[in-house]
Amino acid sequence: MRYAHEVGKVRAAERALMARLPEGALMQRAAAGLAAVCARLLPALYGADVVLLVGGGDNGGDALYAGARLARRGARVTAVPASPRIHRAGLGALRAAGGRVLGQAPPEEEAAGAVAGADLIIDGLTGIGGTGALREPHATLARLASEAPGTVVACDVPSGVDAGSGRVDGPAVRADVTVTFGTHKPGLLIDPGAAYCGVVELVDIGLGPDLPDPDVVAARPEDVRPPEPGPESDKYRRGVVGIIAGGERFTGAAVLAAGGAVHGGAGMVRFASAPHAVELVRQRWPEAVTTVIEPKPDALERIGRVQAWVVGPGLGTDRDGETLVEAVLGTDLPVLVDADGLTVLARRRDLLRRTAPTLLTPHAGELARLIGADRDAIEAARLDHVRRAAAELSATVLLKGSTTLVAEEDRPVRVNPTGTPRLATAGTGDVLSGLVGALLAGGLPALDAAASGAYLHGLAARIAAAGGPPAPGREPGERSGEAPISAYDVITALPAAFRAVW
């Protein structure tokens, strides 16, 4: 796992560590790590042009000390101050090492010339305490850095990105590499901020013993590995998932949800719905056991034994759909509710009063209806709202989006790192529902099933878009030239995604 801590906790850990170290030692550790990463990024350090964008905080000091280290190794280092109050000791170290400093708040033309000619630019404009939109001249310098041809390295967090949430309220530095210190910060993992970070390099500065439990975690492949079938496995041990989806009007969601479960490792898929939806699922997925049901309180009695339920995709939001959602949530089994089922819950939150695990998979609009919030506000502060929803609804909440978040009350929020814009197409959410339902039926706790399912779902989309799995040694998504995909393409790529993590 990659662990991330809120800014206040990072600050507290830094203070505790500094109290045990000589003055300035912690900044020197950060600067040493930053300089080492920068040196690796340059084909040749001697004679390379390095520009430091320096603000008035500690990140500016980190950049100055790192620049001094690079200058002593032969780089031509120029500091561009964005504030009249920059770190004095760091400034002295840079000058002593032969670095050059432009005048305080230099004219834009002078700063632009320095940035445009740099082989490498270190962004030390703001730090993890920065919030809101960048002010001038920071905003202009951030724009110049983002447009420059040289490699851009952000110090701790790209300036303009809120380290605690990933929020971006105006111009921000688009980094090729972000060197972060001690621990990840949530804003480095959550879009839109994550999209500004490039590759994130974590430098250990000794905070570990002073850090509490993480607030946010992002999975690596080994963290999302679903159970593999063993010699004693049978279809019941692997998990039987029941799916109630679709109807006479909306049938595609039924077929896609069933397909996600069939290819998601379920030992058996029991599908129940109106006659037309059942016929289509039977034709496309003959391995599914299908049942025609009517929207009555006792509808589940004819379906057979299952170990988890999925309800909602394409179900409709009228009284008939509500009856089926109520019947499923009245069981003592784990239940995943998606799509139309979430709309039903927005007006029947009383149905969430249950003791068995409940997993909700909304997008921002559906979550807005569930908790009475504004959709734009949710998109702007996804981390805060997914935590609020998990606590308020007493459920596990998977908030879909460019960065999918999974929350349970009093647990670190899980961030999915495999998301891709290719998933922004109709039906992919239905596939996710079936996949996660299969993992629930296989015995994974709701938080783990949701996080693993989101990871595999995103990885399958990337594999489908790229025409195959990543080469050995490459992270999922390190590829170019991806093609458009459909929801069905995600289903067919799920086996390759499973193989990539097993």
429 marked ligand binding residue: yes
Q: In sequence order, which residues have a C-beta less than 8 Å from that of residue 34 and are 6 or more positions away?
A: 62, 63, 66, 122, 153, 155, 179, 203
> Does 129 appear as a known binding residue?
yes
448 is in an annotated binding site: no
Residue 430 annotated as binding site:
yes
Annotated binding residue 56: no
Q: Is 89 annotated as a binding residue?
A: no
What radius of gyration, in Å, describes the C-alpha atoms of the chain? 26
440 and 469 in contact (C-beta within 8 Å)?
no
Cα–Cα nearest to 321, from 367, 372, 261, 274 = 274
In this structure, are residues 386 and 396 in contact, taking their beta carbons and an 8 Å threshold? no
Q: Check the annotation: does 133 bind a ligand.
A: yes
Confirm or deny that 361 is annotated as ligand binding. Answer: no
164 marked as part of a ligand binding site: no
253 assigned to a ligand binding site: yes
Task: Consult the annotation and say whether 404 binds a ligand.
Answer: yes
Is 400 known to sit in a ligand binding site? Answer: yes
H/E stretch holding 441: helix 428-441
Give exposure, 110-147, as e/b (b: 16+ Cβ within 10 Å). ebbebbeebbbbbbbbbbbbbeeebeebbbbbbbbbbe
128 known ligand binder: yes
Residue 243 annotated as binding site? no
Of 218, 189, 263, 223, which is closest to residue 497 (Cα–Cα)?
263
Is position 113 annotated in a ligand binding site? no
Q: Is 343 annotated as a binding residue?
A: no
442 is in an annotated binding site: no
Buried b (16+ CB within 10 A) or exposed e, 217-255: bbbebebbebbeeeeeeeeeebbbbbbbbbbeebbbbbb
| Cis bond upstream, residue 192 (ω within 30) | yes
- Tell me: is residue 86 an annotated ligand-binding position: no
Residue 210 structure tokens: 């002073």
Query: Largest Cα–Cα distance in the chain?
Result: 82
- DSSP three-state, residue 403: coil
Helix (H) / strand (E) containing 337: strand 335-337
Whether 312 has a binding-site annotation, put simply, is: no
The 3-state DSSP composition of the chain as helix, strand, coil percent (nearest 5) reads: 45, 15, 40
Q: Is 117 annotated as a binding residue?
A: no
Question: Does residue 57 have a known ligand-binding role?
Answer: no
Q: Is 119 annotated as a binding residue?
A: no
Q: Is 130 flagged in the annotation as binding?
A: yes
User: 3-state SS of 2-63?
Assistant: EEECCHHHHHHHHHHHHCCCCCCHHHHHHHHHHHHHHHHHCCCCCCCEEEEEECCCHHHHHH
Report the distance separating Cα 129 and Cα 393, nearest Å.
Answer: 31
Residue pair 298/272 in contact (Cβ under 8 Å)? The answer is no
Give 28's contacts (C-beta < 8 A, 6+ positions apart). Answer: 65
Residues annotated in a binding site for (6S)-NADPHX: 58-62, 127-133, 156, 253, 314, 363, 430
Residues annotated in a binding site: 58-62, 123, 127-133, 156, 159, 253, 314, 363, 400-404, 429-430
Residues annotated in a binding site for AMP: 400-404, 429
Residues annotated in a binding site for K(+): 59, 123, 159
